[in-house]
Structure 1
């Protein structure tokens, strides 16, 4: 098991002693349960090729979220096909152009 800091240890201790209470409403819990049921049924296998850079970025995001990277990929794809994945802002990065360089107008 990975080492945890004092703050994380306090949370773990509180959890183990039953001192933590959920702040989610019944409606929120039902939404989360429905989402879990919808994404938990995985009856097909798919193989895809990703660039090493993209896979690395996905793995970092998954670590930040505390979930396996395959679960993150499945979740993003599910949100996309169900219309719940929307673009917040359009930004151009060095990786978003074919040449790897920003446009002259940027």
Structure 2
């Protein structure tokens, strides 16, 4: 895991002291919960072939983020199909 910077430490300290409060409305929280529930349901299996270089890079990026590489791949695909992954121009 990467070390946290001063800004992150300040946020963490405020959270641990109970100084932070949610600004989300009840409807937003309900929508977030529904999206999280739907995203968490993994009922299908897919096998794909990747180049060794691509897989090594994906695994390295996942390690940097502290998540399994399969989770990173699923997240990227989910963002793409929901239109939240934009191509750099």
Q: TM-score, normalised by structure 1?
A: 0.55
Matched-pair contact (CA < 8 Å) for 2:14–2:20: yes
1:85 to 57, 68, 83: 83
Structure 2 CA distance, aligned partners of 1:30 and 1:89? Answer: 30
Higher RCO (CA 8 Å, separation ≥ 6 residues)? 2
More helix by share: 2
Q: Which runs of 5+ in 2 are unaligned?
A: none
TM-score w.r.t. the length of structure 2 is 0.63
Larger C-alpha radius of gyration, 1 or 2?
1
State the distance in 2 between where 1:39 and 1:74 align. Answer: 10
Please, which runs of 5 or more residues in structure 1 have no aligned partner?
Answer: 92-106
